[in-house]
Structures are given as C-alpha cells and as structure tokens.
Structure 1
C-alpha cells in the first residue's frame, strides 16, 4: 500500500524549503489558485492539515456550507502576523488526513497547491513519481472537492512522461503534472498540453 502520509511529509518539507527562499515581495505574488497570493495558499494548505473529520464538519456548518467562507476563516486562523510566522507554522504541520489517511486526496491537495505557488514564481520541483501517479488516477476517477472527473469526462488523457492513461474520446496529452493541474481546474497549464481534446478541455476550464 502506498504511504500517502509519508509522501505528503516529503512534499510539504520540499515546499517549505522553497518558501524559505522567498523575499517579501514574492509572498504577495499571485498564484494559480483563484485570487489568493502565496501566503494565502500556504495558510489554506496549512489549515487543511489541522482538520479531523468532526472539526471539518463543524467548520462547514458554521460557514453554512459555503466552502469559500469556510476556507477564508480557516486560512486566516492559520495565518501568522507576518509571512515568516506563517512559514514557521507551516514547517510544523503534518499530513492531511481527510477523508482517511489511506486516501490520495490529501496528497492531491499538497501537490496541486504547491504547483499553484511554484509555477507563477518559476520554481521547479518534481513530485514523488508514485504519488503523482496515484493523484492523477484519483482525480480522473472521481469528483471530490473539485469536479476533476467531470472536467475530463469523455476525453482520453495520456501522459507523455509516465505510464498514465485514462478515459476515452478526443485525446489530451502532456506531462503528468500538467494533466493533474488541468483536472484540478487550472487553465494556466493548457499551454503544456496537446491533442485534439484540448479545445474542449479549454472550453470546460473557461478559456
């Protein structure tokens, strides 16, 4: 069985190392995650590591099941007075355990949000290969937190750098990390992808 928690720890530590090299201006840089800057994505990811199932449910009930309200409240709770304090808190986090420790969902959150930060900053990182492959299969197979399966319905995905294929229909091909980011709803990676299914995927992602 794949040790998703262990892989998460490695990916979280690698991200923390990259964050440690940022200057104050870069902490305010935009990311691929909606309108959040780098510190907000870090705080959001850090807050996700604190959830138990019951704490998540209580937070969602308190937010009247509005995920935007829930996410904003929890990231502000995690965020420090300065980016450096936020980073110090982030260095202490453990893996995301929802919905269960054996699920690749937590790893998908870590990999996607790390790329949300790194790509606009021009930072390169190769995620754990087995972990990335498991995340790709997870996102292609179900809608959970994001509508990843819906986004690629009736499209054939093929990684050009890994043993990954999923779905049938017009093909979308490219690096596995870019396919993962596309399934997570990030249109910025469309330039990395090829195949006759890209126009339809682009339409679905709002481009």
Structure 2
C-alpha cells in the first residue's frame, strides 16, 4: 500500500485524521481534557497542543528550538507545546483546527508525520473510550514504516526477531515468534504503547510487551 501512495496522498490521509480527531474532541468536558493520555505524562489537551506544534514548526525553527534546548527533546517539546496551547481547551482545539490542512514538518519521510497523527490520536481516544479506528489503508503505510526503521519511534527494535501479522490488512513483517492483531494494535505496540499489547495474540506478545514497558 505505501508503495503506491505519493507524498500528497500521505498528507491527505494525515489531514483526514486530524479532522476526525478534531470532531472527536469537540464534545469533551473539562475532566476529559485533563485526562492522562497514553503519551507519558501529557494530558489530552497537552497532546493536542503537541500535534498543533508539530504541524506548525518547520525544519529551521525545529532545529533552532532543539539547539536552544541543548538537545533535551523533552524540554524542546514542552516549550513548543506551551506555545501552541490555548487559554482553555476550546482555545487549544481552535488552534489545532487551524493546522488540519498543514503540510509543515521537520525532517523525515511523510509516513512518520502521518504516524504521529495516527498514534497521538489513539493516545487520546483509548483513555477516553472513543471508538473511532482509522481506516486500514491509513494505518498500513505507518505500520510498514515503523517496522522498517527506528525514527520517531523504535518500531524496528520493538519487533526485532518477531513475526508480526495484521488480521485485518496486508501487513506482515519479520521472522520469529508470531504476534498477530489488527493493523492499529500492531502499529500502536510498535510505537511503544503497551496497552495495545492486550489486543494482540501469539507467542511473541510477551516479548513485545516487555519492550513496550522498557
């Protein structure tokens, strides 16, 4: 699938996922905005602000920010997140809506930035019990990218020595003990989200779960 998708195609998928997430966020109450996400220490609102920052900061500014943070990427991310957060959740959502159609990104393949939207959207949806699942055709190029290299996430390392197979799409990779599940569950596990290991089956799951926890 990813072999047939152009850069423009991948950005169109990212834009669709941003729009779908914005729609999901529209009905949240204050407690839901403050809910802890799957993304470490960030709340739902902070993850949204991070996505806005990611769609707003180009290569030159990103590099300047990283240098100013002395390559402390947590500090860099926190500064850019704070910059894009609104005065309240409604303001944060409005800022996110403004970048739905953005193609701004830092260095790297477009699959990585589609993956950022897919993963962070689920970082928000799962704790909130929001049921939307991205289309298999959207997640497939992300799964293939994550399995093929360590870039924004350590996906290749996560599945090294394992055989991963999607039950709902054309994705397979690797050789070793089997891990099977939906395209989304495999992708989220490769992104280090241990909660999604609960959705996977096969003798390789304990190994993958241990790597997610690490």
TM-score interval, normalised by the smaller of the two chains = over 0.9
Query: By how many angstroms is 1:96 displaced?
Result: 4.7
CA contact (8 A) 1:29 1:37 kept: yes
Show the 5 A alignment for 1:1-207.
1-2=5-6, 3-93=9-99, 94-99=102-107, 103-206=110-213
Secondary structure of the 1:157 match is: strand
CA contact (8 A) 1:44 1:71 kept: yes
Aligned Cα root-mean-square deviation (Å): 1.3
Secondary structure of the 1:172 match is: strand
Query: By how many angstroms is 1:129 displaced?
Result: 2.5
CA contact (8 A) 1:5 1:96 kept: no
CA contact (8 A) 2:35 2:44 kept: yes
Query: By how many angstroms is 1:156 displaced?
Result: 0.6
Which deviations, in whole Å up to 9, do the C-alpha atoms of 1:51-91 show, x marking residues without a partner? 21111111100110111001000000000110000001110
TM-score between both structures, scaled by the size of structure 2: 0.93
CA contact (8 A) 2:136 2:183 kept: no
Matched length: 206
TM-score between both structures, scaled by the size of structure 1: 0.96
Secondary structure of the 2:210 match is: helix
| Unaligned runs of at least 5 residues, structure 1 | none
